[in-house]
Amino acid sequence: MKAVIVLFVVGWLTGYFMLSILDLRKYSKGVIMQVLVDYAAGAGTVTLLMFATAVTTGSLNNEVIYVLVLCLFIVYLTMTGGPARVTAHRPPYDIKQYLYLIPALIVVIPMVALSYKAVPLGWDTRFIYLFRAKMLFVEGQLRTASFTEPQYLFAHPDYPLNIPLQIAYLYQLLGRIAPDAGKLVLMTYLLLIFLFMYSFLKSMMPAYAAVLSALTFFTLRRVMGLAYTGIDLPLALYILIGTSFYYLYIRDGDVHYVVLSGLLLGIGAWTKLEGITYFMGTALCICIFTRYHLKKPLSVSFKRMTCFLLPGLTFIVPWQIFIHSDHFPVNWIVKGRGATSLTTAFSRLCKISEYFGREIVFNEPFFAIVALSLIYMVFKKKSGLFLSVSAVFMLQLIAYIIALYLQPNPLSAELGVTVQRLLLQITPSILLVSLALLFDPTGKDLTKDTVHES
């Protein structure tokens, strides 16, 4: 447990110093949200540094992590002079909003703790995360047979290394391989999703309502069926945080939210390949809706999209260069389908679309909240806000439909699990955004009463 705590503290410190230097922490609402964004950004930065070190030196070295934290700390002190509380516009401290969390955490934390001994049933958990983390720890380098030989294709060697490197770093702290601890790291993301949803929503509704809304996530069939295995939870967290900042940007038009959204969604793409489509879809939406919803000139739209792309591509491009230069075996989607008749192609596409629609409409009751959001936005003549935010989810669905169509395997082997996991990735984001649209569509400034730290 001490090693897990060290892992999270190092990630949080890295993000704290980095975002403080960039003057971006004040755009997170409240202490809990700030800590979570700090950790999410810091953890991705730490693993990117570990990857860069392994590429340049040929071996993994966790000492470089502490050098990074020290350097960031020195720059932080030099630029800011240390923590400074700004009391202007600060509301009275309300302990009640945190007391409501206690009964909820009594329910949530045991769910996370029980994963410590649970058998990892998910393919990603067993092979993309734990197996690769084991290989990284044992062999201490990237260019090994376990990542480059076709017989290890089952572990998807082209998938990025954010989570495997986090777990490998944990193994280094422990000095041994501990799959139980690795599973605990994965399941902790379930707790982080709950805390982020609560922290974001409590500025829009009473604290008890925010707790209940966040707990709704745990009652969904998709979550009950898959989340306890650790599948896609890290990616779901990064999509959740990145989407929340995208929502705030579309609502308020502040370019700082664009930077934060690009940073977190870029780390999401550094977590799993599916994050790339979400990252690129959001970039396209920023360009389009900056022009047509925020009414900015086209030149400003491209500048905002660039502000989104640059921090995210920092986490995407190095890995893509590495796997292509080393000729890693590629994922099945990239291989594509062979020639087929027009009738067969149309039938396949209809089957995929029908399955998506059935799973979304009939097997996820919470999507009624989305319908309510749309009705409310139209009634309030704010349908542009709804369209701007929901477009990113539609693009992700379309991307998955195309990917399923292109993949060469029979649909019976891929369709069910792919749709379930996609919905797990975006379910917390859709729930959060829908509730935000219902309860806070006014565009008030969420940062004015935040505890600022320069």
The CA distance from 414 to 439, in Å, is 37
pLDDT of 453 reads 33
pLDDT of 442 reads 61
pLDDT of 298 reads 93
pLDDT of 89 reads 41
Half-sphere exposure of 296 (CA within 13 A, CB side): 21
pLDDT of 327 reads 60
Report the domain count for the chain.
1
452 strand-pairing partners: 86
Q: Which two tokens stand for residue 142?
A: 């990237």
Domain range for residue 358?
Answer: 2-84+108-444
Residue 271 in any domain: the answer is yes
Residue 17 in any domain: the answer is yes
Q: How far apart are the first and last CA of the chain?
A: 32
Residue 56 in any domain: the answer is yes
Residue 452 in any domain: the answer is no
Residue 99 in any domain: the answer is no
Residue 89 in any domain: the answer is no
Residue 247 in any domain: the answer is yes
Residue 93 in any domain: the answer is no
DSSP assignment of 418-452 equals HHHHHHHHHHHHHHHHHHHHHH--S---SSTTS-E
The helix/strand/coil state of 86 is strand
- Biggest CA-to-CA distance, the chain: 68
The CA distance from 7 to 5, in Å, is 5
- For residue 18, which of 65, 76, 63, 74 has the smallest C-alpha distance? 76
Question: pLDDT in tens for each of the 454 residues of the chain?
Answer: 788 899 999 999 999 999 999 999 989 888 899 999 999 999 999 999 999 999 888 888 888 899 999 999 999 988 876 665 444 444 455 677 778 788 888 878 877 776 666 666 677 788 888 888 988 898 888 876 667 777 777 777 888 999 999 999 999 999 899 888 888 888 889 889 999 999 999 888 888 888 988 888 877 776 766 666 677 889 999 999 999 999 999 999 999 999 999 999 999 999 998 899 999 999 999 999 999 989 999 999 999 999 999 999 999 999 999 888 866 665 544 455 554 556 677 787 888 888 877 777 766 666 777 777 778 777 777 788 888 988 998 898 888 888 777 777 777 767 877 787 888 888 889 889 888 888 876 654 444 433 333 3
Helix (H) and strand (E) counts for the chain? 21, 2
